[in-house]
């Protein structure tokens, strides 16, 4: 297996981007955007996750098959999150019995 050594410039660039995105997340948390706060926070988190996977996990230098599995894993995770969210939202529709 061939090992690829990434230049230090890539690591420093990703680190700077992650720090900027972290401060952006903290700053956006103080802005009241109603229900869009969670959308913005999750969007920033997805960008940070993509940077870590692409550079630090070495997906940038792997084969197309490995990239396909990374995308498939992320897609499967997205399906699980959506189904969990739908289950959580639909719980309010169930009739509630008497407590005692």
Domain boundaries, the chain: 8-93
CB 41 within 8 A of CB 25: yes
Could you give the count of Cα atoms lying within 13 Å of 69 in the half-sphere of its Cβ?
A: 5
Specify whether the CB–CB gap between 17 and 56 falls below 8 A.
no
Q: What pLDDT is recorded for position 4?
A: 65
C-alpha to C-alpha distance for 56 and 50, rounded to whole angstroms = 10
| Strand ranges, E, within 4-96 | none
**pLDDT score of 5:** 75
What is the pLDDT at residue 1?
54
List, for the chain, all residue ranges whose pLDDT scores fall below the cut of 50. none
State the pLDDT at residue 3.
65
Residue 32's pLDDT is 92
Structure-block tokens of residue 11: 């690591």
Q: At what angle do helices 36-51 and 8-29 cross, to 10 degrees?
A: 170
């Amino acid at each position: 297996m061939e090992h690829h050594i990434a230049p230090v410039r890539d690591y420093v660039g990703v680190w700077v981007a992650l720090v900027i995105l972290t401060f952006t997340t903290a700053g956006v948390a103080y802005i009241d955007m109603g229900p869009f706060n969670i959308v913005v926070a999750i969007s920033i988190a997805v960008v940070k996750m993509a940077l870590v996977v692409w550079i630090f996990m070495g997906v940038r230098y792997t084969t197309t098959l490995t990239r396909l599995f990374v995308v498939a894993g992320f897609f499967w995770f997205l399906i699980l999150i959506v189904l969990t969210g739908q289950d959580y939202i639909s719980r309010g529709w169930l009739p509630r019995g008497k407590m005692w």
